[in-house]
Structure 1
Amino acid sequence: MMNSILSAVVLLTLTIPSYAAPTSASAKLYTIETAPGVTSQVTEAQKWELKKQGTNFLDITDYLDVENSIFEETLAVSYPTSIIHQEAVDPLNAQLSKANLRSTLETFTTFNNRFYKAQTGADSSAWLLGQINALIAASNATGASAKPFAHTFVQSSIIATIPGLSNSTIVLGAHQDSVNWDSDDQINARAPGADDDGSGSVTILEAFRVLLSDPTIASGQAPNTIEFHWYAAEEGGLLGSQAIFNAYQTEGRVVKAMLAQDMTGYIQGTLNAGKPESFGIIVDYVDAPLTEFVKIVADAYTTIPYVESKCGYGCSDHASASKAGYPSAFVFESAFEDDNKAIHTANDTIDKLSFDHMIEHGKLTVGFAYELAFAQL
């Protein structure tokens, strides 16, 4: 998750940090986008300083020749106006396990960090891929598969696919990387990333496990294909998700919906503010019809309310899908102003999280995936 300090405001004018940073002519410059079509060139050190200040952006250095599709050519999709698969989904949601969430997250956070340029970022990604493949092997989903998506940095993204009868695809995504912006040494600094975004990563992993147990989905008989994505390098400027969705755009892939789950476990900020536990359904820079469908799913399959919230441009990986022309939505653990202030530090730890809350996000994920897997879109 990109820091939320400045995310409520779209930055039309970007102030580049003036601290001591590499300024030689040989220093590599990166192009970042802080609002649709608003770009600046910065050094890597300046990128990191902007991140520390809480500035959201997409690092589009590798995609300067890609047309900006956001909100201009987004695929038009008509989503269901009600849920119709509750008899199938409710038993699946009953299988979601807090013990599984905790066990997986405990191991995931033992890596010193999951920074995308660190060896531990590569190691944690390989471990996660092993967990995904183990779930597939334990299921009857003979057509399901998982593979790494390689990047120019050491951490790979991961794509798990449950084929359907068509290539129309529903994507559930979370980012796997973590970072410590308190330190000047991201390669070696401790960054457990329990909430950001270990919580989202294990939430969609548990939803993936449960969906594999459904005979119709496991046998490839759902009308639409389901993919689960675990993105690398979200903290570096949505690098992993941009690479995937730009590749999909180039290949002519049809993605009918993308739901991001970035931070699913922290509720104490909400409770401290005297508010009831809730989801934060993001309503800025998202696909409005898909977001309305997310609200229908939340009402039908979860036991907590939702509030509308905003996080600004480029605040998480759904922005990469939108920029590539694919409808996207984003569900957060709370209203954005009540977020976990320990993220991006060594203190983003499991003890701050509610696994009951993560189960609610899991229910929403399963319901979203199942309803759209069988929808005529």
Structure 2
Amino acid sequence: MRTTKFGAVALMLVCATPAFAEAPAKEKEVWISIGTDALDTARASFKGQEPELETVAREKDGVAVLRVRESQLEKLSKVMHDKLNRCAGFITHDTEEQALAAVEKSSSAQAVASLVSYTLDNGTAVNSLMSAVAEANIRGTISTLSTSWTTRRYNLQSGIDAATWLKSRWTTLAGSRTDITVANFVHPTTTSPQPSVILTIRGTTLPNEVVVLGAHLDSINGSGSSYAAPGADDDASGVAALTEVIRVAVAKGYRPARTVKFMAYAAEEIGLRGSGAIAANHKSTGVNVVGVLQLDMINYRGSSYDIVMVSDYTNAAQNTFIRNLITRYLPGVTATSTTCGYGCSDHASWHNQGYAASIPFEALMGQDNPYIHTTSDTLAQTAGTATNSVKFTKLAAAYMAELAKGTTSIALQAEDAEASR
């Protein structure tokens, strides 16, 4: 480019004058809803830092709304875990309007238990599926997810690559079944570059009624994005359980009466972003979700009880149904209840949209895996096995078969044999 002497001097002056310097890019701000019981702890952790947490914009029924910088989400997640034993413990929203609406929905969420009958009458299918669950397969998936990538963080390429691998794995398991589809649920890149992954088995007689089984795909290290986050228990274990239920469903020729969706959510660790978007989408499009099961941390036994049901932000009737499943199909497995607080995992996204959601957990709060969100969340913490996950995987299979109903090929053969007598 040809420039006159005067033009060059003028250009130098412009470049050297602070008034004309380009302003630094403003950091993205988001809104969160968080339990008021966690506010003091959160504020204390940011006290004296720049910036501190802002004042509350709205508070109702034990839930508060406030604005934060996106860079604060990671530390907030660490505080929720380290101080309050919550994961994540808050819900992230892109706008103030969305956050305020979430508070209203949370305070008025209505269970849908009246729309579904909780019966235990599909034992042949349940036992067929449960008998095929194999610890080695669950362990293999946990190992792949926790060692193939340094982290499955939602906004890094490795997190996207993990989602690509899982979609491929689930597609392979689906095989030639034309009633099974696998797809990414793509989120806006500002929300999560990592997509969520959804496998759908179309229902045979009640396809418009949907049963959801979920876990979260992302992982996080509370010390920062540059640290490794293997996330073996949190939550490769939950994704591995879903993967094994999918495998046995196909192997046993399971065809549900209701549609079943398996979901591996993105960006759970920074405010349930993936599940929040999916649950909102299902609500806005009128999808009749009759039940949601969340599996988040199931491979570490920290309590004397085998399975611990989270009682808050879940559906009491469905929790009872799951306790009955344990009694009927998992004899000798002990269960109790615990409370977790607001936004502890992806079940809260569905609860806040008015759906019946439950989360069976690995331990009483405060006795769960102390290594999550660190480089030490590996299979080594469970002696290199997925043994503890087996009972949760079998429970998930039982939940699917008794809520979605339907039959397996073996169940059909048994019925035909009985009819021929």
Give TM-score, length-normalised by structure 2: 0.77
Aligned to 1:231: 265
Aligned to 2:73: 47
List runs of 5+ in structure 2 lacking aligned partners. 1-33, 407-421
In structure 2, the CA distance between the partners of 1:87 and 1:148, relative to structure 1 (3 Å rule), is: same
In structure 2, the CA distance between the partners of 1:155 and 1:30, relative to structure 1 (3 Å rule), is: farther
Aligned to 1:4: none
Asked if the contact 2:267–2:274 (Cα under 8 Å) also holds between the matched residues in 1, the reply is yes
Q: Structure 1 CA distance, aligned partners of 2:195 and 2:179?
A: 22
Matching of residues 141-180 of structure 1 within 5 Å: 141-151=177-187, 152=189, 153-164=192-203, 165=205, 166-180=207-221
Letter in 2 for 1:305: T
In structure 2, the CA distance between the partners of 1:261 and 1:216, relative to structure 1 (3 Å rule), is: closer
Larger mean Cα displacement after TM superposition, 207-216 or 298-307: 207-216
Quote how far apart the aligned CAs of 1:158 are: 0.8
Q: Structure 2 CA distance, aligned partners of 1:366 and 1:36?
A: 35
Letter in 2 for 1:178: S
In structure 2, the CA distance between the partners of 1:345 and 1:361, relative to structure 1 (3 Å rule), is: same
Larger mean Cα displacement after TM superposition, 68-77 or 172-181: 68-77
Quote how far apart the aligned CAs of 1:19 are: 4.4
Helix, strand or coil at the partner of 1:49:
helix
List runs of 5+ in structure 1 lacking aligned partners. 1-6
Q: Structure 1 CA distance, aligned partners of 2:109 and 2:374?
A: 38
Q: Structure 2 CA distance, aligned partners of 1:155 and 1:18?
A: 32
Structure whose CA Rg is larger: 2
Quote how far apart the aligned CAs of 1:14 are: 6.7
Quote how far apart the aligned CAs of 1:84 are: 1.1
Q: Structure 1 CA distance, aligned partners of 2:360 and 2:111?
A: 20
Q: Aligned-pair RMSD on alpha carbons? A: 2.7
Quote how far apart the aligned CAs of 1:57 are: 0.6
Which residue among 249, 253, 277 is the counterpart of 1:243? 277
Quote how far apart the aligned CAs of 1:176 are: 0.7
Matching of residues 273-284 of structure 1 within 5 Å: 275=304, 277-284=305-312
Deviations 1:36-76 (A, max 9, x none): 54111111233222222126111123434745323624242
Q: Structure 1 CA distance, aligned partners of 2:389 and 2:58?
A: 32
In structure 2, the CA distance between the partners of 1:9 and 1:178, relative to structure 1 (3 Å rule), is: same
Quote how far apart the aligned CAs of 1:143 are: 1.1
Matching of residues 192-207 of structure 1 within 5 Å: 192-207=230-245
Aligned to 2:298: 264
Asked if the contact 2:35–2:90 (Cα under 8 Å) also holds between the matched residues in 1, the reply is no
Helix, strand or coil at the partner of 1:312:
coil
Letter in 2 for 1:150: V
Helix, strand or coil at the partner of 2:152:
coil
Aligned to 1:372: 403
Count of aligned pairs:
351
Aligned to 2:22: none
Letter in 1 for 2:70: E
Letter in 2 for 1:242: G
Asked if the contact 2:111–2:354 (Cα under 8 Å) also holds between the matched residues in 1, the reply is yes
Letter in 2 for 1:149: F
Letter in 2 for 1:74: Q
Q: Structure 2 CA distance, aligned partners of 1:15 and 1:108?
A: 31
Aligned to 2:417: none
Aligned to 1:88: 125
Helix, strand or coil at the partner of 1:235:
coil
Which residue among 342, 365, 373 is the counterpart of 2:371? 342
Deviations 1:249-295 (A, max 9, x none): 1111111100100011001x32xxxx3x4101111111111111111
Aligned to 2:23: none
Deviations 1:72-95 (A, max 9, x none): 242422454541111221121111
Letter in 2 for 1:11: A
Quote how far apart the aligned CAs of 1:356 are: 2.1
Confirm whether residue 318 of structure 1 aligns to residue 366 of structure 2: no
Larger mean Cα displacement after TM superposition, 41-50 or 293-302: 41-50
Identity, in percent, stands at 31
In structure 2, the CA distance between the partners of 1:216 and 1:91, relative to structure 1 (3 Å rule), is: closer
Aligned to 2:90: 57
